[in-house]
Amino acid sequence: MEPQIKEEEQEEERPNPQKLLWMFTLATIMKLLLIPSYHSTDFEVHRHWLALTSSLPLHQWYSDSTSQWTLDYPPFFAYFERLLALFAPFIDPQIAHLHNGLNYAAPTALLFQRLTVIASDLCLLYACFRLRTRPGVGLDSWRADLIWVLLVFSPGLLIVDHVHFQYNGFLIGWLLVSVSAVEEGRDLVGGFVFAVLLCFKHLFAVAAPVYFVYLLRHYCWRRSGGGVVEGFGRLLKMGFVVGVVFGVAFGPFLYYGQVLAIINELFEPFWGLCHAYWAPNFWVFYIILDKVLAVLLTKLGFTIPASSASFTGGLVGESSSFAVLPKITPLVTFLLVLCAMSPCLIKIWREPRPRLITRWVAYAYTCGFLFGWHVHEKASLHFVIPLAIVATESLADARHYFLLSIVSCYSLFPLLFEAKEYPIKVLLLLLYSLLMWSGFTQQLRKLQTSTSSAKKGDKGRSRKGTGGTKVEGGGTLIGWVGMSYLLGLLVVEIWGQFLQPYLLGDRWIIKCP
């Protein structure tokens, strides 16, 4: 193996976009093969929006009720659907027909809509491509490769977008572009792209406080130099840019007096504290605590108003009241999210460092996920995907990302409930875990060799050296706590999927349509 020492030195080259393209095509192949797999009602939702935006005039988009799936995304997404609908007639005119197209899921429709998702993922590709010039860390070829692998083969995105059916890759692509622009110090561009993203999907607004504070401190009111006047000028500039974006988005609707309808639509689906499938967040514990308390107090002789509450009913609807604990209102959740975010906001206020913006944004989404009102389980993608970018920066980040991405993907498993998709989700997660494992252990070895050759103090080096060795055996990338947690997931999965039906039912029932 001696000849390869030279090669390794050569390998410290700049990131090769060809490799990104190669990986992305590989992922595209998987996406193409996923075309006939299961799709959720979101498929019909998006199909209807194609029909809605292409057959009705703009001022009826948000007030039409031909289908129960009314348009509840902000205007840019509606424009986006309008754009996609332009191509639909080439494949099958019925796809974008307002009435005949209802619940239309012929192979042509499936093909067309899946292809739109695959094509819109090019936005993610662009975001990945931009990362090659990440200041400070983006210059290593192997690091860029690893980040690309983590982003391109993300099982969560594949499951939610290409099986379940949504456009998260596209939207998160915008988010990553915005974040990377801010990271490069191009605040105006970052702010602009984030505003665009908000006009695509308003749920991304959870990170708005972070952006607001950061841009205020880093762009408008800089610590070094720049007077109040200059700061105010910059504020106006940023305000103008964001205003233009929102103007383009909402302007036409304002003209037709539709803005109230839009706002009504955008926030209408948010009934209830929890979504049909519970997102694994704080409120799950709250509900469980309520149930436990109710049972306990009843046993102790108190009369508890019998709540017909069934949170596991799987219905999107008005939240049932709690038996014991106080009722949660959207305002409470909003304040909780802000509270959870505040340490981060204070830190940004004190020291707005571009290098940390990705972490901050991810943190903001985590807070929104944990304490937010009516959180979708898919929202975990909003913070897991950006974290992939910083996962290569240190051992702690790698460790964190490894565990988090596996758990987040596992939490998406219930989305695909048919037997046919079972091997897909398991194999996707397995593949990703293996990719991460081999990538991160590789990275640690790289870091270890570079630190030992840099000769920075004997103690630190030897500690790192042992750490790296442990990685090989399975010690350091994931500690015993994390490992037992993952094994616990495995046990839960085996129990839920195989043992329980076998032990409690008389025969395994395989769910097929």
Partner 1 sequence: MEKRRRSTSSSSSSSSSKKHDGEGDVHSHHILHRPTSPLLCVIVFAALIRYLVSLHPYSGAADPPMYGDYEAQRHWMEITLNLPAKDWYRNTTSNDLTYWGLDYPPLTAYQSYVHAQFLKFFDPESVALVTSRGHESPLGKFLMRLTVLSSDLVIFFPAALWFVLAYYGGRSRVRREELLWHLSLVLLNPGLILIDHGHFQYNCISLGLTVAAVAAIFVEKDLVGSFLFCLALNHKQMSAYYAPAFFSHLLGKCFKHQNPILKVTKLGLVVLGTFLLIWWPYVYPLKGAMEVLRRLAPFERGIYEDYVANFWCATSILIKWKRLYSMQLLKLLSFSMTLLSILPSIIQQIRSPSRQGFLFAMLNSSLSFYLFSFQVHEKSILLPLLPASLLALDEPLMFQWFMNYALFSMFPLLRRDQLLIPYVALYMLFALLYYCPFRKQDSSGNGSVNGWKASAMTLFLLCSLLLHLIYLTFKPPEKYPFLFEAMIMLLCFSQFVFLAIYSNMKQWKLPSRFGWIDKKKVL
Q: Can you tell me the distance from the alpha carbon of 441 to that of 434, in angstroms, rounded to the nearest whole number?
A: 11
Instruction: With CB under 8 A as the rule, give the number of residues binding partner 1.
Output: 59
Minimum distance from residue 262 beta carbon to partner 1 (Å): 38
Q: Can you tell me the distance from the alpha carbon of 73 to that of 213, in angstroms, rounded to the nearest whole number?
A: 26
Q: Can you tell me the distance from the alpha carbon of 503 to that of 443, in angstroms, rounded to the nearest whole number?
A: 44
284 scored as a contact of partner 1 (CB under 8 A) = no
Q: Specify the stretch interacting with partner 1 by CB under 8 A; choose among 202-210, 267-275, 423-431, 483-491.
A: 423-431
Taking CB under 8 A as the criterion, the residue among 11, 230, 268, 493 binding partner 1 is 11
Q: Can you tell me the distance from the alpha carbon of 360 to that of 349, in angstroms, rounded to the nearest whole number?
A: 12
Beta strands (DSSP E) in 286-409 are none
A 10 A CB-CB count for 300 gives: 7
How many residues comprise the chain?
Answer: 513
205 scored as a contact of partner 1 (CB under 8 A) = no
Q: Can you tell me the distance from the alpha carbon of 487 to that of 444, in angstroms, rounded to the nearest whole number?
A: 23
Q: Which is nearer to partner 1, 197 or 412 (CB)?
A: 412
Taking CB under 8 A as the criterion, the residue among 25, 41, 100, 133 binding partner 1 is 25
Taking CB under 8 A as the criterion, the residue among 14, 33, 335, 490 binding partner 1 is 33
Is the Cβ–Cβ distance between 378 and 201 less than 8 Å? Answer: no
Is the Cβ–Cβ distance between 277 and 314 less than 8 Å? Answer: yes
Terminal-to-terminal C-alpha distance of the chain = 54
18 scored as a contact of partner 1 (CB under 8 A) = yes
Q: Which is nearer to partner 1, 481 or 512 (CB)?
A: 512
35 scored as a contact of partner 1 (CB under 8 A) = yes
- Pick from 317, 310, 303: which is nearest to 287 by CA? 310
Q: Can you tell me the distance from the alpha carbon of 262 to that of 250, in angstroms, rounded to the nearest whole number?
A: 9
Taking CB under 8 A as the criterion, the residue among 69, 87, 142, 256 binding partner 1 is 142
Taking CB under 8 A as the criterion, the residue among 100, 312, 438, 484 binding partner 1 is 438
500 scored as a contact of partner 1 (CB under 8 A) = no
Considering only the C-alpha atoms of the chain, give the largest distance between any 2 of them, rounded to a whole number of Å.
79
462 scored as a contact of partner 1 (CB under 8 A) = yes
466 scored as a contact of partner 1 (CB under 8 A) = yes
By the criterion CB under 8 A, which residues form the site for partner 1?
Answer: 1-2, 4-5, 7-8, 11, 16, 18-19, 22-23, 25-26, 28-30, 32-37, 111, 142, 145, 149, 419-420, 423-424, 427-428, 430-431, 434-435, 437-439, 441-442, 445-446, 448-449, 452-453, 461-462, 465-466, 468-469, 472, 508, 510, 512-513
